[in-house]
A and B are shown apart, each in its own frame.
Chain A
Amino acid sequence: MLAAGCTSPPPPRPPVETPPPGSIVAFTENSSSPLVAFDVRRATVRGVDGAVRSPVASIAGLSGDGLVGVAVTGRGSASVFRVTRTGDAAPIGKALPGPRDAAYHSLAVAGGRAMVADCDAVAVLDLAGPSRWRTVGDGCWAALSPDGSRVAFSPDGRRVFEREIRTGHARPMFDVSGLDLGTGRETRLFGPPSWGPDGIAFTVVSGDQAAFYLARPNGALERLLQERLLKTVRPPVLAWQPNGGLLGAMDDLGSGGVVRTFDPATGAHRVVALDPLAFDGLVWSPDGSSLATLTSGGFLLVVGTDGSWRARVDTTWSSMLGWLT
């Protein structure tokens, strides 16, 4: 205990480690080339050809030899497109017209499907046969299972249902209103859940408290972290590590922005980046070794899961889409 607050510095090591390979695809504020691919290791940028407009919300997932993205425009329409390794972007299927502008919709790409929830309906698009959007539920917050076969959605922000997309069969999964954050106030979902192999991670808020939970496949709800809720400008971003067991979380619910990793196996969590204001977006590198986010100063920050900086680059990006191998 005497030495608990004293730390002897270990031997020196390189301040910045080599970033993982691949390119981060991002939307820029440059109208002539709104989509760019940034080679992280070479630190080079190239434009991505294709008629993709800067979105108010976007998400992407790896699919085949490219990246499939979903972008929600300012008018609420959701379009799906594929970005190839050669630097081209091509639309997939028709855009889904939205009823209104909704920046906080749930978007997901997984298992050959794209999903969008705009608080009116939860719709999915089969990437293999992108002929039409299919409505599979309702509510603002929804998630696709890793294999794309199921969708979890919450029609009222409290109860969460699971629906088999192929059969349409639905069943209740859990109800967050019963989660006690010690405020005596109602507990509600805040932000899109993230469905991974270890379960569905989600954020709830109650009074001046916010908490990250994990719904295990067996139905158990485990609290990962609870913190004071100071602002609800935007919901946290939760993202599962590719081929790994870590959950990445970016939130600015407290006094600033923080990126954490959670290890559901041990319950341990670790801060890997802090920003005095907030971060924007969170994407994993395909090898799962690093996380990329945008700082409040507009810098792309790539950090390892141990918090070491892999890259920090000044950008004019408005949002990140994903990390292309």
Chain B
Amino acid sequence: MAHVSGLRAAPFGWLRRLLVLSRYPAVGLAVFASATILGISAAAAPLFESSVATNVVQLGMRDAGRVLASMTTRVQLADDVVGYQQRTLVDAVRAVPNVGRVTTTLSATGLRVQPADGGRAKSVQLVSRGGFLSHVHVLAGESDANGVWLAESLAGAIDAGPGDAVLIRAGARSATATVAGVYRDLFVGVPDAFWAPLSAKIYPTAEGEAPPPSPILAGRATMLTLSTTLELFGTARWDVRVTSDRSALAYDAASHAAAGVRRLVAEVASPATPVGSALQAPGTAAPVVDVVRDARATRDSIAGPLRTFSIAGVVAALVGLLASAVYGVRRRRTEVRMLDALGLSPAALGARALLETALPVAAGGAVGWLIARIGVAVGGPTALLDPSAVAGSVWQAALAAVAGIAVTAFGTVSAVRAETQPAGTRFRAVARAPWEAVALALAAAALYEILSRGTGPAVSPDGAVHIDAFLLLFPVLFIAGAAGLAVRSLVSGLRRASGAAVRWPVPAYLATRRLASSPRIALLLTTAAALSVGILGYAGTIGRSLDIATNDKARLVVGSDVSVPAPASLRLPPSPGLHPTDVVRVTASPASAPGEITILGVDPATFASAAFWDPGFADRPLGELLRDLGRGGTSLPALVVGSSASVGEIDLGGFAIPVTPLERVRAFPGQGTGSTLVVATPVLERILASHGISLDSVGVTFLVWVRGPVARATAYVEGLGLSSSAVRTAAAFVGAPRFRAVSSTFVFMELLGVLAAVVALLGVVLYLQARHHARLVSYAMSSRMGLTRGGHRVAVFLEIGSVLFASAVVGSVLALVAGAVLSPWVDPFPALPPSPAFRPPIPLFAAIAVAVPVTGAVAAVIVQRRTDRANVAEELRYAG
């Protein structure tokens, strides 16, 4: 037959061998699918690590205003001195990779300004910052006009406008400048991050205080002309920015930039260098160094689990290739026996197998790499990946493919030997081996490891994030093993059902018979799909539980969505959709014991609506607790947070204040790191007043908490005149590398689940292809007995749908079980309540529930169409 044509010494016969598996689509697809998994497993980890690290860099650099490093020095603001400093800095900065612009900020204080023709003088500051006009709201004047820009309040105060001359004085010296325009005061409205380095010169430092003198803004040349004339000393700041090239924020590029910045900072600190000598020991900040350190920590945290996944995936794929090779030999046993009879040596058979499997394995590896590349780009934290990671993933995929080819050849040779030796039935024995028991035993061992560790598996002893590989291995082993068992029982049930199916409607009967006639393929397919659904569901469950717990922890630490220090107790105006409250915090000492205790004062009237509260924090509702706190007499009612010793009196402001502990609560928003007493601020104030002292006099810190959308809450506190730079948000807390590392790992797991689902769908295609001929014959016969096209379509739908449905049900149930068992253990910050609770991702499971019938229906339509177009006679002849 055509299958043995390779025996002839045809020219380029070896080339034809490359395409032999195209004649055996089922075998070819099995090899291809396994190689695809191999490629994905080998390539995904380095790509995802790069994506996570790069994302940390992107977020960090966004927060840092894209500034790599800053240098600030106090300097004589003479044009030649500043020019020399800038030249030397720019010279030094050239050695830093990925460097963009250097923004200069010059500022001087202690000036007075008045109209040139006389009038009232006002205190002012003179400020120049490169590109400032793009970051002010111009009220009057042209952007290309030369001169100085006055704030609206200043222009009104001295009655000056565009084109007017103003006299600027510094001590006995004075200089005249032309007003180029008027801008809206910078402390009005939402602050622009551009002005963050100058916030102390723009915003009031305390409630009720007037803002600092509105800065006169000027271009660099105008500023230096004025400052030289006025002989000003002031502050020069240089912000070294990252280039606008998007790739500069990739982890590798940022690492190189950070290394360059470290050298720059060392250079700047040394008087033995031109720049160090010129800048004369400036203050330096290197945000990129911190950002890269965070990124590296996050990447290192996830590297272990990801590599575990990767190795597990590669091993599974190699086993798949081995199985495919065995299956391929069995599929071609006639040809194999003929070759053996012709005296072909095992080595020659191995060489043939190498040639035959090389192309599909290489193609599968390449497609796997491509799926991993696209999957990480789409599903990872960012699509921007390091070129080195991409190159590394290519190498890993290539190496894995080579290993895959070798394993397939080995499997082929072994199978040929088994096939040509009649006594060899070991493969059948292997196929029947209870591998599920092995997987479940390993899963039990992994679970034991997890449960036997008391400190929480996500945090290593040094406090750094360490994601335990067992948290990832357990669900995979458990779901694989349990799914295998479940599916075995389903198959045995199917066999029993096939007997009774004769009484069922024709489509159901046909679907049952078809599945029962090829139980191993159905078993394999159902287990694989169940595993993919299980991984996806487990990762989604843990990810959601973790997200909710992390957000809760963040809000517990911050107290609410937004927290910001305030200079005093503020009147908090209402704002729709926002719930503000003011909180005070002070450290006291227990009168009867050494140590310190945090006193957290809350406003019982507004606290409940503004603070984050989890009913698990206390045994009674928050409202009741707050009501009791407000009922103070000479003693201070207090909630005791944590397991601190009972407190009868505290020493505050030099007075012993009796405390009435109301209740011990497990946690409280804004609690301190040690013992905390929660009291009502009005009661505390009243008791302090009875001793003749106030909150201010005992050194309390005033805080404003706001619950609501972060952007609006931030704008609200800024509207109160509070510094935007001090705003603390729960969202920023959640973005810390510790949390990001853990959540990223489960994002990766979800991604693998999705990719596994894609491969499972490939398996469906494989199954349909493998069963095509038998189905066609059965359809040809059945249609003569009255089976309609619609009935056959329903039969195919039931056949595929039942496999997928079983997979979805088994996978989902096992995912939920694994998630419920491990949710409390995936805690990146176990010292902080609440622990992650079991929170299944309903939308994800709903999507799976929808995907199953849709996939079945689509498959049924495609199969029916293909069946309709097939030539039954030709197929029967081909089948021989």
Contact = CB atoms under 8 A, between A and B. Distances in A.
Say whether A and B bind each other. yes
B676 interface: no
A5 B94 contact: no
Contact of B76 (A3, A12, A254, A297): A254
Contact of A1 (B76, B100, B104, B143): B143
Interface string A295-319: 1010101000001110010000000
B773 interface: no
Given A228-B231, A260-B80, A272-B84, A2 B134 contact: yes
Contacts of A255: 76, 233
A282 to B, nearest CB: 16
B185 to A, nearest CB: 21
Interface string B116-160: 000000000000111111100000000110100000000000000
B231 A5 contact: no
B88 A1 contact: no
28 contacts: A1-B133, A1-B144, A1-B146, A5-B104, A5-B105, A5-B106, A5-B219, A6-B102, A6-B104, A7-B86, A7-B102, A8-B101, A8-B102, A9-B93, A9-B102, A15-B274, A182-B173, A227-B78, A227-B231, A254-B76, A258-B81, A271-B81, A274-B84, A276-B280, A295-B277, A301-B277, A307-B87, A312-B272
**Size category, A interface:** 35 or more
A269 interface: yes
A308 to B, nearest CB: 7
B274 A308 contact: yes
A5 B274 contact: no
A309 B273 CA distance: 9
B86 A256 contact: no
A269 B76 contact: no
Contact of B94 (A11, A297, A307): A11
Contacts of A270: 80, 83-84
B91 interface: yes
B99 interface: yes
Interface in A62-119: none
Chain B CB within 10 Å, residue with most, of A4, A256, A301: A4
3 closest Cβ pairs, A-B complex: A5-B130, A271-B84, A6-B130
A273 interface: yes
Interface string A268-294: 011111111000000000000000000
Interface in B291-306: none
B266 interface: no
Contact of B271 (A1, A7, A297): A297
Nearest to A271: B84
A129 interface: no
A271 B274 contact: no
B870 interface: no
Contacts of B173: 182
B852 interface: no
Interface of A: 1-13, 15, 182-183, 227-228, 254-256, 258, 260, 269-276, 295, 297, 299, 301, 307-309, 312
B143 A2 contact: yes
Interface in B328-383: none
Contacts of B727: none
B19 interface: no
A254 B76 CA distance: 9
A139 B284 CA distance: 49
A5 B277 contact: no
A7 B84 contact: no
> Majority SS of interface residues in chain A?
loop
Contacts of A301: 277
Contacts, number: 106
A274 B85 contact: yes
Nearest to A208: B172
B204 to A, nearest CB: 26
B221 interface: yes
Contacts of B144: 1
Contact of A6 (B101, B146, B172, B272): B101
B142 to A, nearest CB: 11
Interface of B: 76, 78, 80-81, 83-88, 90-91, 93-95, 99-106, 128-134, 143-144, 146, 172-173, 219-221, 231, 233, 271-272, 274, 277-278, 280-281
Contacts of B90: 7, 9-10
B271 A5 contact: no
A275 B76 CA distance: 13
A3 B131 contact: yes
A5 B128 contact: yes
Nearest to A296: B271
Given A10-B90, A227-B78, A274-B84, A5 B280 contact: no
A13 B133 CA distance: 33
B141 to A, nearest CB: 12
Nearest to B277: A274
A307 B271 contact: no
A202 to B, nearest CB: 20
A2 B233 contact: no
Contacts of A3: 130-131
Contact of A10 (B83, B94, B130): B94
A4 B277 contact: no
Nearest to A309: B274
Contacts of A10: 90, 94
A258 B76 CA distance: 11
B600 to A, nearest CB: 45
A209 B99 CA distance: 41
Contacts of A12: 94-95
A236 to B, nearest CB: 15
Contacts of A182: 172-173
B718 to A, nearest CB: 25
Contacts of A295: 271, 277
Contacts of A260: 80
Chain B CB within 10 Å, residue with most, of A275, A297, A299, A307: A307
Contacts of A1: 133, 143-144, 146, 219, 221
A227 B172 CA distance: 14
B171 to A, nearest CB: 9
B648 to A, nearest CB: 58
Given A2-B132, A7-B90, A269-B80, 19 more contacts: A1-B133, A4-B128, A4-B130, A4-B219, A5-B106, A5-B131, A6-B103, A7-B101, A9-B93, A9-B102, A12-B95, A183-B172, A270-B83, A271-B80, A276-B280, A276-B281, A297-B271, A308-B274, A309-B274
Contacts of B129: 5
B222 to A, nearest CB: 8
Chain B CB within 10 Å, residue with most, of A7, A255, A272, A297: A7
A174 to B, nearest CB: 25
Contacts of B233: 255
A308 B275 CA distance: 10
B243 to A, nearest CB: 9
A15 B91 contact: yes
A13 B94 contact: yes
B256 to A, nearest CB: 14
A312 B278 CA distance: 14
A288 B111 CA distance: 42
Nearest to A301: B277
A5 B83 CA distance: 11
A182 to B, nearest CB: 7
B131 A6 contact: yes
Nearest to B278: A274
Contacts of A307: 84, 87-88, 274
A9 B132 CA distance: 20
Contacts of B231: 227-228
Contacts of B94: 9-13
